[in-house]
């Protein structure tokens, strides 16, 4: 008998949701075969069977939340050509559990401490020792303010929280009546785990950074003419089209080298300035925005950047991104212009210090050498953490990007 367990995917991932079983009880399973899809807050992972045999039990249904290390299925090997019989008690047992669940609250004392890991609606990254201590003391991990700048709750944080004086008990408030939904007027849709995490992370960034946005506009005439002139040759030599993203990635790398505080993050009371240029490229998928990373963008040429962005975007839309594809970015570029956005204030990605927002290219009248001309113009925005980056550096960074895009030959010479 082989147990199918939820594997460890990354340190920050402690649980996931069963998205889809691709095998059902009684199906033959080969060693290494994909049998269930697990949705986490970062990627969808394909869980395989380590043994060949027959799937005899499924212990977690689609939509269930499961923890890393939890057994979710049983595969029994085939011996002597006879296939094992699926366990007939699996389904009745599950139904029995469901029937007993409504009685569980009656068996609990009125003052029983909550089981935090099951009842808290917040997903908290915490060490096993911290979770154990929190359970023992009846503390909700979501109520703890960790010292770790990455947000990980440790034993010391739980102990410090437990040592705080108890808050006075307030008079019970009237319970609000349950909200009834008229299904003919409202469609109720459960948020996916990834959407919940995106919402939580964006809110954390807004609350924990001194975010500010500065704007500029770029005349796209020269880079559009260069692309048109070199497109056929570029495709013939590299097998991929020359887009705008490679130009902006190259311009961003050059600007980051000139303004290193934009390529940094705060860790405790320190500023860590990166000497690498791993550029996150925001990609829209059906389940939300993900930001795969183009690593060592300063060492890649235009074709390599275009090819890697295309491959990462394809993987994102096919739900095949690995955890490693999403980790370690130092700066992010997002392009709302592909959806028609004229201007926006993008939100910083995670612990990074800045994000560049690209927008629609629109023909507008502008003054050129004292004359009014119609030019293809793009607004660009830099959202940045004002705790690290001063206004002078933010404006200088964006001005450098503008100058390099308006003079793309300089990028080609320096690449």
- Residues annotated as part of the active site: 386, 390
Three-state SS at 97: helix
Residues 335 and 315: beta-carbon distance below 8 Å? no
The closest alpha carbon to 46, from 82, 72, 15, 21, belongs to 21
Beta-carbon contacts of 266 under 8 Å, excluding residues fewer than 6 positions away, are 149, 272, 351, 353, 385, 387, 388
Q: CB-side exposure of 207: number of CA atoms within 13 Å?
A: 6
Sheet with 53-58: list strands edge to edge: 2-5, 71-76, 53-58, 28-29
Distances 193 to 18, 327, 360 between C-alpha atoms, Å: 10, 18, 31
Nearest CA among 152, 4, 132, 1 for reference residue 66: 4
H/E stretch holding 119 reads: helix 116-119
Q: What is d(CA 4, CA 48) in angstroms, rounded to the nearest whole number? A: 8
What phi and psi values does residue 68 have, to the nearest 5 degrees?
-60, 130
Torsion of CA 181, 182, 185, 191, to 10 degrees: 30
Neighbours of 232 (CB within 10 A): 10
What residues contact residue 28 under an 8 Å CB cut-off, 6+ apart?
Answer: 53, 54, 78, 83
Contact present, 194 and 41 (Cβ < 8 Å): yes
Under a CB-based contact definition with an 8 Å cutoff, are residues 313 and 345 in contact?
Answer: no
């Amino acid at each position: 008998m082989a147990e199918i367990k939820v594997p460890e995917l990354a340190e920050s991932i402690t649980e996931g949701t069963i998205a889809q079983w691709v095998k059902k009880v009684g199906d033959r399973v080969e060693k290494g075969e994909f049998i269930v899809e697990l949705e986490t807050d970062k990627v969808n992972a394909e869980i395989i069977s380590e043994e060949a045999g027959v799937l005899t039990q499924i212990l977690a249904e689609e939509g269930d939340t499961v923890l890393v290390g939890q057994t979710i299925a049983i595969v029994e090997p085939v011996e002597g050509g006879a296939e094992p019989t699926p366990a007939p008690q699996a389904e009745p047992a599950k139904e029995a559990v469901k029937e007993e669940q409504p009685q569980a609250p009656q068996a609990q004392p009125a003052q029983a401490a909550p089981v935090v890991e099951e009842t808290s609606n917040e997903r908290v990254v915490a060490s096993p020792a911290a979770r154990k201590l929190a359970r023992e003391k009846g503390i909700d991990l979501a109520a703890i303010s960790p010292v770790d700048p990455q947000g990980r709750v440790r034993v010391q944080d739980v102990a410090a929280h437990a040592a705080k004086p108890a808050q006075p008990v307030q008079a019970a408030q009237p319970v609000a009546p349950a909200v009834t939904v008229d299904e003919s007027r409202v469609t109720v849709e459960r948020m996916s785990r990834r959407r919940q995490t995106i919402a939580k992370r964006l809110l954390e960034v807004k609350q924990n950074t001194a975010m500010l946005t500065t704007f500029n506009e770029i005349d796209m005439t020269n880079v559009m003419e260069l692309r048109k002139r070199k497109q056929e040759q570029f495709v013939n030599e590299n097998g991929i089209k020359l887009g705008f993203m490679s130009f902006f990635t190259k311009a961003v790398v050059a600007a980051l080298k000139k303004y290193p505080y934009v390529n940094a993050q705060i860790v405790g009371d320190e500023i860590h300035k990166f000497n690498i240029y791993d550029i996150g490229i925001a990609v829209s998928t059906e389940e939300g925005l993900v930001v795969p990373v183009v690593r060592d963008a300063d060492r890649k040429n235009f074709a390599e950047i275009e090819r890697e962005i295309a491959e990462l975007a394809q993987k994102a839309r096919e739900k095949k991104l690995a955890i490693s594809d999403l980790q370690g970015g130092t700066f992010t570029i997002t392009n709302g212009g592909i959806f028609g956005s004229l201007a926006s204030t993008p939100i910083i990605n995670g612990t990074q210090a800045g994000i560049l927002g690209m927008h629609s290219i629109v023909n507008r009248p502008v003054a050129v050498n004292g004359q009014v001309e119609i030019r293809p113009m793009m607004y660009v925005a830099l959202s940045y953490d004002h705790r690290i980056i001063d206004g002078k550096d933010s404006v200088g960074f964006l001005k450098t990007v503008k100058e390099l895009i308006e003079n793309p030959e300089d990028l080609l010479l320096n690449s």
